[in-house]
Amino acid sequence: MENMNPEPATAAHRAAILAIILASYFMILLDNSVIFTALPSLQADLQLGTGELSWVQDAYTLVFGGLLLLGARAGDLLGRRRVFVFGLVVFSVASLLIGLAPSGWWAISGRAIQGIGAAIVAPASLSLLTASFPEGRERTRAVALYGATAGMGASLGLVIGGALAHWISWRAGFFVNVPIGAAMIALAPRFLPETGRARGRFDLFGALSATLGVGALVFGIINTADAGWASAATVTAVTAGIVLLVVFVLIERRAAQPIMQLRLFASRRRAGAYVARFLYLGAMIAFFFFTTQFLQEVLGFDPLQAGMGFLPMTAVNFAVAMGIPRLVNRMPGSIPLVAGILITLAGMFWLSRVGVDSSYLTDVAFPMVLIGAGQGLAFAPLTSFGIVGAPAADAGAASGLVNTFHQVGTCLGLGIAVAAAATVPAAGAAAAHLAAQVSAALTTGSVLLLLALAVTAALILPADLAARRVLIPLGAAPAPLAEAAR
């Protein structure tokens, strides 16, 4: 594929590209979390049961995660800017439909359509970013800001969702996407580079088996909260999910043009980054989902106060993330990554000790500061290692895998945390029971972070240090040597 537009020549042009990509990516990540602080208002307005309410989130993340690889492939074949704009149109229209939703199932269907748009925009945005910024300092800074956006989108979504639900309506959190999406749709053709169409086929069977496999697995895990692990529905769903994912891998091994290039896992750094991202995001979704409930149902915060309650994490996250580009230019990126996961783990474990008598300042805000600092350190290196060394022809596939493991980690992490919380027996007052459930869920999140730390230490750290030793004496390592060091 070749660029149809020339490489951007000015700093202002590159700044416009970065702004469009980050604003679009921020918008779709915002909807992963903007709903959390607004869930009680939405539930009351649309008269949803607990099970239906969970699908307001799960419909989005399941479709998002399940179709990401197909979305990445679409960008490679049809042109990344063209696909990016189409995804923004789908996402913006779906946001409008959710804001107008007269019923729960209308809202859930709209969230699924939103997931389709997000699955198109997310991989295209990262591919356009890597195509627009040359290797070196500029790309390092751009990728760092992209990674920071992932953390801040989740954090600020809680603040924005709580504020809008308190002052206006839960619907405003979706209406706000419409003018932002329209602005990005108008600006993208003017500034973003286009890639030409390429000959190829869509791996529809691979996409279908991946989406159904992840969906069945998540459904089975979530179903344990009500029916337990021994129920026929749980066993059937989990078994079907595992079988379908095995089928997916077999399809990808034999497909002439697979949506998931298995060769991308040959790099220890990339493979480690995908698995570590999966585990890290599984822990973070448990933190967001259950801490929001703790603030409102145990500490008595209203939606606005609950959203503002996340500001210590958000502020620290932003401050640390802004320093990452300078940091990774001075040391191997695996060092801040290990430090970030370790600091996040410390904050998560501290927060998991909450109880019905906990105070916000000492038991919630202080751990949040650690979690925010850890996020600020970890997200950018995780993103960078997910695309490091990927051939230009696989840029879309590598970007798709970064976002796929992000969203699938979110789906499965939430299911595992909900299942862990459901093991807490009901006893005493409702607030005390919920506090115990939150503690169990966040303890589970701590275990996921510990596993992410182990994966990073075993795969990413040694490979990154080895690559660093090859690159430093050579100044710029030839591709075969750089790849061997991975």
**For the purposes of burial, counting CB atoms within 10 Å of the CB of 50, is it exposed (0-12), middle (13-18) or buried (19 or more)?**
exposed
Q: Who's near 217: CB < 8 A, 6+ residues apart? A: 237, 238, 241, 242, 245, 412, 415
Mean pLDDT of the chain: 80
Nearest to 70 by CA among 265, 210, 175, 251: 210
Specify whether the CB–CB gap between 345 and 450 falls below 8 A.
yes
* The CA-based dihedral angle spanning residues 393, 398, 404, 410, taken in that order and rounded to the nearest 10 degrees: -160
Which position has the token pair 């990344």? 80
Using alpha carbons, select from 66, 111, 71, 73 the residue that is nearest to residue 91: 111
HSE toward the beta carbon, residue 301, CA cutoff 13 A: 23
pLDDT at 139: 74
Q: What is the residue whose two structure tokens read 């915060």?
A: 301
Predicted local distance difference test score (pLDDT) of residue 486 = 38
pTM of the model: 0.75
* pLDDT at residue 110 in the model: 92
Write the pLDDT tens digit of every residue in 397-436: 677 678 778 777 887 788 788 888 888 887 778 888 889 9
Residue 10, SS3 per DSSP:
coil
**Tokens 């992000």 belong to residue:** 406
Q: Is the pLDDT of residue 374 over 90?
A: yes
Return the domain boundaries, the chain. 11-194+259-485, 203-258
From the list 442, 78, 368, 412, the residue with the least C-alpha distance to 241 is 412
Among 107-116, 151-160, 206-215, top mean pLDDT goes to 107-116
What's the rounded Cα separation, in Å, for the pair 485 and 270?
Answer: 12
Answer yes or no: are the C-beta atoms of 317 and 155 closer than 8 Å.
Answer: yes
Show the tokens assigned to 6: 């020339």
Q: Which of 90, 86, 73 is nearest to 197 (CA)?
A: 73
Query: Strand locations in 105-257, DSSP E?
Result: none
pLDDT for the residue 373: 92
Cβ–Cβ under 8 Å, residues 439 and 355: yes
The 10s digit of each residue's pLDDT in 347-371 is 999 999 999 899 999 999 999 999 9
DSSP string, 337-401: HHHHHHHHHHHHHHHTT--TT--HIIIIIHHHHHHHHHHHHHHHHHHHHHHTT--GGGHHHHHHH
Between these two residues, 450 and 387, which has the higher pLDDT value? 450
The region of weakest confidence among 290-304, 332-346, 440-454 is: 290-304
| pLDDT tens digits along 134-149 | 766 777 777 777 767 7
Residue 320 burial by Cβ neighbours in a 10 Å radius (0-12, 13-18, 19+): buried
96 burial class (0-12, 13-18, 19+ CB within 10 angstroms)? Answer: middle
Instruction: Name the nearest CA neighbour of 29 among 130, 180, 182.
Output: 180
Per-residue pLDDT, 92: 94
Would you state the CATH architecture of domain 11-194+259-485? Up-down Bundle (1.20)
**AA letter at 481:** L
Better-scored residue on pLDDT, 236 or 2: 236
pLDDT greater than 60 at residue 30: yes
Higher pLDDT, 470 or 49: 49
Report the candidate in 120, 127, 143 with the shortest Cα–Cα distance to residue 194: 127
Contact call for residues 39 and 88 (beta carbons, < 8 A): no
User: Which of 320, 305, 285, 319 is CA-nearest to residue 414?
Assistant: 285
